[in-house]
Amino acid sequence: MADKTELPACPVEVTLALISNRWKVLILRELLGGTLRFSELKRGVGSISQKVLTQNLRSMESDGLLTRTVYPEVPPHVEYALTERGRSLKGVLDALRAWGESYQHEVAGV
């Protein structure tokens, strides 16, 4: 979020600001399974560019949703993991998944 001192009054709006795009939701989904390296995240998320993944990871780190650990090796080894705050969004993602499954069954006959 751009300015943390001026959070929206509506809690739903705050949540949406933190997970404001599909990439952030997919990054959260992947990291709920545990710590991942950048390349593993990119592969799990799908058709995201390296630039967009990097931008979203930086934003999520700034918002306190994940941590970035750099291991001083050649080549550099970087791992990403959810913080407690990031893991607390599991219920939100579970609700999105359940709703999506219900919608698929009702509308698409999946």
- Whether the full predicted model's pTM is greater than 0.75, yes or no, is yes
CA 44-89-34 angle, to 5 degrees, is 40
* 3 state SS for 2-54: CCCCCCCCCHHHHHHHHCCCHHHHHHHHHHCCCCEEHHHHHHHHCCCCHHHHH
Pairing state between β 36-37 and 66-71: unpaired
pLDDT for 4: 64
Q: Does domain 11-108 have CATH number 1.10.10.10?
A: yes
pLDDT for 2: 53
pLDDT in tens, the chain (110 residues): 656 668 888 999 999 989 989 999 999 999 999 999 999 999 999 999 999 999 999 999 999 999 999 999 888 899 999 999 999 999 999 999 999 999 999 998 76
